[in-house]
A and B are shown apart, each in its own frame.
Chain A
Amino acid sequence: MGISKRTGISILLIIGSLLVIACQGEVDIEATPEIAYGEVICEQCGMIVSEEAQAAAYRLADGGLRIFDDLGDMVLYHRLNGEDVHIFWVHDFQTGEWMHAPDAFFVATDDLVTPMGHGIAAFTYKAGAEHLAQEHGAPIYRWNELLEDSLADLPRHID
C-alpha cells in the first residue's frame, strides 16, 4: 500500500518549493547591489528599472534588497515604510558608479529628467554638485536632509 504517484509528485513539489524558499543562500550585505536592468520592478512605483544611472537601492539589515528606478522613489519609500536599512546605495551622476548615499552630495532640480520626475542627482564630489546646482539655480542637500519629511523645497513628487 504505497503512496500514489500523484501524492508523491505533490509531496516532491511541496518539498521542492520549501527548499527553494529556504535555500536562498547567504548574502554579502556590504556588496554593491546587482540589478537586472529591464527586468526588475521598482519597489515604490512598480515601474521597470531600466536606467542604470538613475537606479538606487538599499540593503536591509536582514540582507533583503530594495531596488528603485529613481533615487527619489527610494527616499519616498523609506519615508513611508521606515525599514531598518543597513546601506543606502545611489549612483554617482557623473561616473555612474555606486556609492553610499550618506557620502554623496545631492542636487534637486525640476530641470533634471529622471524616471519618476524627482530630478535628484547624486555626486561623489561637492564640486560636481556645485557645478550643476549653479547651472540650474538649485540647492545642494545631504542625505539626512533628503530623508527628512519636513523638507519643503524638493521637487513636488516627494511631498
Chain B
Amino acid sequence: MMEMLFYLAALVALLATVLALTRANAAHALIYLIVSLLAVAVLFFLMGAPFAAALEIVIYAGAIMVLFVFVIMMLNVGEEGVAREREWLGGRNWIVPGILSALLLLELLLALRHAPAATSGTAVAPKAIGLTLFGPYVLAVEIASMLLLSGLVGAYHLGRRFIVRRERKR
C-alpha cells in the first residue's frame, strides 16, 4: 500500500516537473512546479521524514514559490512573453540538455539498482532532527546562516535609495 502511494506521488512529481518545463505560459509552469514540490513533500512523508515534508511545504511551496509568482506579477509580460517563450521552447534547443539529462538519468538508474527499497526507512521525529542539526552538524548550520546573512546584507545594499542620499548632501 505504502509503496503504491510512493510510486504514485513519484509519478505525479515527474509529470508535473515535465509539464512545468514545457509550458509557455509562466503562470501555468509555476503552478505545475508547486504541484511537483507538493508531490515531493508527500514522498518525504512516506519515506519517514515528516519534518522534511512539512518544511518542503512551508518553505518551498509556501514561501519561495510565492516570491516567484510575485515576480511574474510584477513583470506582467502577457501574450508577447508567451510567444517568445514558445519560440525558445521549440526544436533544436532541446538537443544538448536532453543528452546531458539522459546521461544523468542512466547513471541514476544504475546507482538505484544497488539501493535498498524505497520506503524501508524508519520515521524520524522532529526532535531528533533538531538534536542532530545542532549537535554534530552545527558547523554546517552556522555556515548556512552566514551565507544567508551575507545575502541579506547584499540585498539591503542594493535596495537602498541612492537618489535620496544625494539630495540630502546638497
Query: Are both chains from one complex?
Result: no
